[in-house]
Amino acid sequence: MTSCDRTMKTDLLVVGSEGAGGPAAIEARQRGIDVLIVTKGKISQCGASQMAGADFNLDGKSAIALGFPGDERDSPERFFSDIVREGLYLNNQRMVEKYVEYCPRSIKDLMDWGMRIYTYESAHAEEMARGVIASGVLWVRAIRKKVKELGIPVLQDHMVVDLLTTGGRMAGAVALDIKTGETVLIQSKAVVLASGGWHRAYRTTSGPYDLSGDGIAMAYRAGAKLTSMEMVQFIPFTVYWPPKARGSICLYIFSQFPGVGDFVHLVNASGERFMQKYDPQTMEQSTKGIVAIASELEVEAGRGGPNGGVFFSLEHLGPEMVEMIIQGVKAQFIERFKEKRHEFTHLLPELLEHCKVGRIECGNAAHYMLGGIKVNERAESTVPGLFAAGECSGGLWGAVRVASACSEAGVQGKIAGEAASECVSKVSHVSADEQQVQSVLECITRPIARTQGIRVAELTRRMHDVSGKKLWVIKDGNGLKSALEELKQVQSELEETAILGTKSRRLNDEWIRCLELRNLLTCLELSAKAGHARKESRGEFFRRDFTDTDNDEWLKTVEIAKQDGEDAVSFEPPVVTSITPPIGRLTFQEAIGVATASLTRK
């Protein structure tokens, strides 16, 4: 019987060390709980948190209480209502209430841990910008400092490959030491997953290379219910070319800068400012979702660039004016924030410099996953002892995320830490099921032993081809259906024929990517399945064959769980506390509050 190379025992296992995992572990440790963090990278140098802007939400009243110049007219109630209204009513309102309530506490924690805050932004009119701005790097460093100060053990460069359940309860997990190739059995009473989204399922994404939906796929395999997997946010203006800057969203952020953002033109290959056709009133400043769809329609019509994008242009300003903007950006942002590890510092000026003589090809990128592990307002999943926090969880945002994902991570991390602490103090360890451990080990080592088959890179390419066409910004029923079949095919080939060039277990990069690919395919398949089930368009989810937002039929979330080895889809009305969702059928544009936009190709 094969068993793990090493064994560890802890009361609470936290998977992920950054924006959500860090605060979860800190909260538990401060309550005297024995906690272990396992992270696929190094603390403060992995995941998506470090790449964030980073904005943290704080309603006006709470801001004043914390000593910021908040707007008195704003309130937690108004903040709550904005999130639910703009989330198009699919939010779990109990989770939103808790989010609004915990945002100030989460910021207070970060300030106590030494996170420097650059500036405060107040809510103006209907805009959602309310809160403080720091930077992702400052954020994760503050968390790392606190984790070290509390002496929380961190297992770095370890990938958790599967969760273990005994009699339906969490028993721990199996992890793989990436550097040595050793397997580790981690026995724990409860698990908090804080492992982020499944960004790398898409060829073009603004997310880092380690976000591979591990937590979501593992939770699903362990029987947890997932929700809203079809809700994926795409962000326009992401750099496609040059390669060095590919995936950077600094041009999008630039387009939102007050004062200079209005200068940005988005043009197609023939130099036409195409937003004129789709949203003539607000043009490039239209809602993110509309710009994303319009960009895709242009590319579809053959008016895109060589890399499948459209173009960011400042050509109409002339080189002198662009130089003035560069100097302005340097003075206003770069010199003020003195942030070396930031794309604004090293990429933005370079890209703007290029705009003096040409355009930059840009387009949509998979940016944020609204769906994930179904949790309640206590971060509890449907599996006893399993908690989820941050991007890997679902339910908070409904159909559009308008508030901060950084705050989401901090708030849910803190909540998960609290709830998991209570949980582990009530239950005792259950021993891991040896057969389950063995089957996990067999499953992960199979590709190493195999000598003939298909390389992981080839299978990854095929997955990206499917997600880039059929699970991209504009979807339709046939595409979603065939995507599901094709992904299932890739998944079965991965299971049966994947081979690795390197046979050793030590730091076998390709092996790690093979294990990640399985999770990515699972997330994508479930996203296709949920998308196929939702026969309407809403918020971040747009279907060409059902363009209306139908509040009579579709005010419900799509949930998927494994039942007897099959994916069982169910529909549930969102949890409502104080805002009753509206009735009636609206066009997609009306529903997201854009009156003027046309979403047909011209």
Partner 1 sequence: MEAEKTIRVECFRYDPETDRAPRFETYEVPLNGSMSVHDCLLYIRENLDPGLAYFINCKLGFCLRCRMMVNGKPCFACLTEVDADIRVEPPNKTRVIRDLWSEDV
**What is the nearest approach in angstroms of partner 1 to the Cβ of residue 208?**
4
| Interface with partner 1, residue 208, by CB under 8 A | yes
Q: What span, in angstroms and rounded, lies between the C-alpha atoms of 7 and 36?
A: 13
| Interface with partner 1, residue 593, by CB under 8 A | no
**What is the nearest approach in angstroms of partner 1 to the Cβ of residue 50?**
5
| Interface with partner 1, residue 447, by CB under 8 A | no
For the sheet with 131-133, list strands across it.
55-57, 131-133, 119-121
**What is the nearest approach in angstroms of partner 1 to the Cβ of residue 242?**
3
| Interface with partner 1, residue 179, by CB under 8 A | yes
**What is the nearest approach in angstroms of partner 1 to the Cβ of residue 85?**
33
Nearer to partner 1, 209 or 571 (CB): 209
Q: What span, in angstroms and rounded, lies between the C-alpha atoms of 596 and 590?
A: 9
**Which residue in the set 83, 137, 310, 362 belongs to the binding site for partner 1 (CB under 8 A)?**
137
Q: What span, in angstroms and rounded, lies between the C-alpha atoms of 510 and 494?
A: 13
**Which residue in the set 335, 495, 509, 572 belongs to the binding site for partner 1 (CB under 8 A)?**
509
Nearer to partner 1, 184 or 226 (CB): 184
| Interface with partner 1, residue 176, by CB under 8 A | no
Q: Nearest CA to 305 among 276, 275, 271?
A: 271
Q: Which residues touch 87 (CB under 8 Å, ≥6 apart)?
A: 96, 397, 398, 399, 400, 401, 402, 539
- DSSP for 547-580, written as a single string: -EEETTT--SEEEEEEETTEEEEEEEPPP-SS-P
Nearer to partner 1, 305 or 417 (CB): 305
Q: Name residue 231's amino acid.
A: M
DSSP class of 584: S
549 burial type by CB count under 10 A (0-12 exposed, 13-18 middle, 19+ buried): buried
Q: Are 518 and 511 in contact (CB under 8 A)?
A: no
Site size with partner 1, rule: CB under 8 A: 41
Three-state DSSP at 169 gives: strand
| Interface with partner 1, residue 177, by CB under 8 A | no
x/- track of binding to partner 1 for residues 224-263 (CB under 8 A): -----------------xxxxxxxx---------------
| Interface with partner 1, residue 188, by CB under 8 A | no
Q: Are 61 and 76 in contact (CB under 8 A)?
A: yes
DSSP lists the bridge partners of residue 586 as 549
Nearer to partner 1, 492 or 504 (CB): 504
Q: What span, in angstroms and rounded, lies between the C-alpha atoms of 229 and 520?
A: 12
x/- track of binding to partner 1 for residues 307-326 (CB under 8 A): x-------------------
Q: Are 26 and 204 in contact (CB under 8 A)?
A: no
| Interface with partner 1, residue 116, by CB under 8 A | no
| Interface with partner 1, residue 302, by CB under 8 A | no
| Interface with partner 1, residue 24, by CB under 8 A | no
From 158-166, 425-433, 494-502, 536-544, span contacting partner 1 (CB under 8 A): 494-502
Nearer to partner 1, 242 or 280 (CB): 242
Interface residues for partner 1 in 339-378 (CB under 8 A)? 341-343, 346-347, 350
Nearer to partner 1, 504 or 563 (CB): 504
| Interface with partner 1, residue 574, by CB under 8 A | no
Q: How far is CA 219 from CA 20, 469, 502, 526, in A?
A: 17, 27, 29, 13
Helices (H) and strands (E) in the chain, counts: 19, 27
Q: Nearest CA to 88 among 372, 373, 369, 402?
A: 402
**What is the nearest approach in angstroms of partner 1 to the Cβ of residue 447?**
12
**What is the nearest approach in angstroms of partner 1 to the Cβ of residue 181?**
10
Site residues for partner 1 per CB under 8 A? 41-42, 45-46, 50-51, 136-137, 179, 208-210, 241-248, 306-307, 341-343, 346-347, 350, 455-457, 461, 500-502, 504, 506-510
